[in-house]
Structure 1
Amino acid sequence: MKRLMLITTLAAATLLPVTAASAWPGRPSDPPTAGDPVHEPNWLPDRGAYYEDTYDTRYRDRFRDRWVVLSSFTPARQGRETVQLTGRERRIDRLKIRSVRGAPIVTQVILQYGNGQYERRPVNIQLRPGQESTISLAPDRRVERIMVLTDPKSGGAYTLLGAG
C-alpha cells in the first residue's frame, strides 16, 4: 500500500508540471502575436458597436429573428400602454405579446408610423400564462409608437417584444 502511494506521488510530481506547462499556450510575459484579435486592425472589443454598424447592412440576415423586449411585465389592469420606439427598434416587422402572469385580454394594438399615419389592429384574444400572439407588420414602414389596449378587468400581465 505504501509502495502504491509512493508511485502515485512520484508520478504526479513528475508528470503534472509537464502537462500543465503544455496546456498553457505561452508565458504571460510573451509579446502578443499578429494573430491575436486585439492586434488585428478591425477588431472591436464589444459586440454592441459592431451590432449597430451591421444591423441594416449585408449582415441583416444574422440579426433578423432576434426578439427585442419593448416593454416587460406590464399589468393589464392599466388598460393602455404606450411604447415609444427609437433607433433600430423602429425597424421592427413583427410584434409578439406574451402573457407572463394571469390571463390578460388584449383588445387591440394601435401603431403610429414615422409619417404620422395610424393603424389599428384588432387582436381580441385572452392569453393564458405563457401563451403568445404574434402580429405581422409592414417591413418597409418604420414604427414610431405602439399602443396596446387591454381589458382592465382581466388582470394578469404581459410582455411586448419586437423583431425585425
Structure 2
Amino acid sequence: NRMLEARPDLLALLFDPVATDRRGEVPAGMKPYTEIPPLSWHEGHLTVYYQRQYIDSASRFPDSMSLTPEHVEALDMFDRLANDPDLHLSMRLRPGDMQFVYNHGQLHDRTGFLDWPEPERRRHLLRLWLSMPGDRPLPPVFAQRYGSIKIGDRGGIVTPGTRLHAPIDV
C-alpha cells in the first residue's frame, strides 16, 4: 500500500510481464527465462513472483524483453520498500527450526551464512514446495514456470536429468 500511496504509476508497472532468468532450471522445450509479472491479480488473489537478481540477469539473453527506465524505477522502489526495516520481519533460524513460507503471497529472502567444514556440523536445508489441495488458483502465465498450475498438482520445476532425493546422512 505504501507504493500505491506514493507512486501508483510505478506500482502499475509491476503488473507488466518481465523476463526472469531461470538460472539453469530450464524444463525441456522452455526458454531460459520466464515472462511473468512481479505482481498479478487472479480470481481475487494478489500473486507475487519477484527475484530482482534473476530479473536483472535475464538481460544476458538477447531475445528477452528489455526493461524500460520506468520499469527499473518501479523495481528499485519495490526493492527499497521490501528492504525497509519497518515493513519486513527478520528472523534467525536455529538448528531444528522449520519455516514455511507461502511463495505466492509474500516476499522472502535469506542473508548469507557460513557453514562448518566438518560434514557432521554442516547445515541441512531441505526446500520443499508443497501444492496443497485447497490452495488458491495461479494465473495461467505461471504454467511457463511450473508446467501444471492445477491446484494440488502443480508441476514444480523439473529439468532434464533431475534426480529427486533428500539425503540426510552425513
Q: Tell me whether the two structures share a fold, i.e. TM-score over 0.5.
A: no
Give TM-score, length-normalised by structure 1: 0.24
TM-score, scaled relative to structure 2: 0.23
Answer 1 or 2: higher relative contact order, Cα 8 Å, separation at least 6: 1
Structure number with the higher strand fraction is: 1
